Amino acid sequence: MKKSLSRKILAAVLSVFMLIAAGCVKGGDLPVVATPSPSPTPAPPDTVRFVAAGDNLIHGSIYLQAARRSTDGGYDFDYAYENIEDYFKDFDVKFINQETLVNSAFAPSTYPQFSSPTRLGDKVLEMGFNVIGTSNNHSYDKGARGVRSSLEYWNSKDVVNVGFYTGDDSQDIKYMTVNNIKMAFLAYTYGTNGLSIYDETCPYVIRPDDFETVERQVKIAKENADIVIVSCHWGYEDTNQVNDYQRMVAEKLNIMGVDVIIGTHPHVIQTVEWQTNEENDNKTLICYSLGNFISAQSKGNNMLGGLFQFNIVKTYDENGGYEISIEEPYFVSTITHFDYEFSNIRNYLLSDYTPELAAKHGVKGYDSRFSYDYIHNIVSDVIPREFLMNK
């Protein structure tokens, strides 16, 4: 027992001498064991839920029905949108292409030169839309006075309105920051139905193939935002096929570094795709056409529209750096419905639409092809399966 204890004491003494020799213990200090610093923990990711709607195309039958429903002598648009507006509640950023000029300078008017009452704008805001695209072929329908009145209305609201330009990029490129993610918005149109504005002081629209201007604006937007989203009003009307002009512009915007392109104008839906290039490997998400959000057009294909949704995700590393990604892009189909002779115009999510409603659609009086199967077949033919939420 004593021999064993002596050996333990000797071993302890030798250990101390070895530590002293190694420089770990000096004088009468006790040995010190270093505690490793904890690794930095990355901040949790930030996310913005984004949705875009197509052409809010307010024909005369829509605003006249809203006038008849009003109890105060104005316009009540609630009925037109009541079946679909709850869908937007879960999104942070909501874009809509406001096809017709919302203004107080002119009385409401229909095709070919539209004017919509400010009550329509109020309803758009009530549904939660907070990015309003105003660059389209009807932007000049009421001349400089219409442009100014429309901008006066939207500028008085807490929204981003994008589409008219003054020549001052610091004012014309629009930004919104949500959940620590800064988004830049630009909007362009292929034309204005041959109409021009000769007042040099009036804000104007820009063509998407004005590449010198567009490239300058995209470059500034990329320097000041996490993500650049561009609305393009383009394409041939009433065809589900993307044309050469759309593809050419999309390729240019992809190379410039645009992250998302939202297409409008054809009044029917067109395909969705990711596009990359060998020059800089930029990846762009493109929806070529969302079709109509609501309208009183008379072709079966015009009744079908879409909502384009995706998440913008900002992922941080342990050093505070971050990456931006676009995740879960989906095309959600919608339908405009009306009864006999364009009565009771309203819209639905296609997932809520029934064969019974389709059988009674008033558009069948103008286009016998329309049916429940007809619209579902268009969706499956046009939109790639990977972008359909209900595959």
Considering the domain architecture, whether residues 77 and 19 belong to the same structural domain is answered as: no
Residue 17 lies in a domain: yes
Residues 71-99: tens digit of each pLDDT? 999 999 999 999 999 999 999 999 999 99
How far apart CA 350 and CA 335 sit, in angstroms, is 6
Asked if the model's pLDDT at residue 15 lies above 90, the reply is no
Residues 94-109: tens digit of each pLDDT? 999 999 999 999 999 9
What pLDDT is recorded for position 3?
40
- Tell how strand 322-337 and strand 304-316 pair up: antiparallel
Return the CATH number at 157. 3.60.21.10
Q: At what angle do helices 60-69 and 118-126 cross, to 10 degrees?
A: 80
- pTM of this structure: 0.90
Considering the domain architecture, whether residues 64 and 126 belong to the same structural domain is answered as: yes
Considering the domain architecture, whether residues 77 and 3 belong to the same structural domain is answered as: no
Considering the domain architecture, whether residues 13 and 55 belong to the same structural domain is answered as: no
Considering the domain architecture, whether residues 232 and 189 belong to the same structural domain is answered as: yes
How far apart CA 157 and CA 126 sit, in angstroms, is 11
Work out the mean pLDDT of the chain and round it to a whole number.
92
What pLDDT is recorded for position 227?
98
Asked if the model's pLDDT at residue 219 lies above 60, the reply is yes
Residue 122 lies in a domain: yes
Answer whether 140's CB lies under 8 Å from 147's CB: yes
Residue 370 lies in a domain: yes
Residue 40 lies in a domain: no
Residue 90 lies in a domain: yes
Confidence of residue 165 (pLDDT cuts 50, 70, 90): very high
What pLDDT is recorded for position 274?
98
Residue 37 lies in a domain: no
Residues 243-295: tens digit of each pLDDT? 999 999 999 999 999 999 999 999 999 999 999 999 999 999 999 999 999 99
Q: At what angle do helices 244-256 and 211-224 cross, to 10 degrees?
A: 40
Residues 187-206: tens digit of each pLDDT? 999 999 999 999 999 999 99
What letter represents residue 66's amino acid?
A: A
**Closest to 267 (Cα-Cα) out of 235, 245, 244:** 235
- Residue 319 lies in domain: 46-387
What pLDDT is recorded for position 34?
63
Number of domains in the chain: 2
Residues 292-325: tens digit of each pLDDT? 999 999 999 999 999 999 999 999 999 889 999 9
How far apart CA 344 and CA 336 sit, in angstroms, is 10
Confidence of residue 354 (pLDDT cuts 50, 70, 90): very high
Positive or negative torsion for Cα 247, 165, 173, 124 = negative
What pLDDT is recorded for position 40?
79
Residue 121 lies in a domain: yes
Considering the domain architecture, whether residues 116 and 257 belong to the same structural domain is answered as: yes
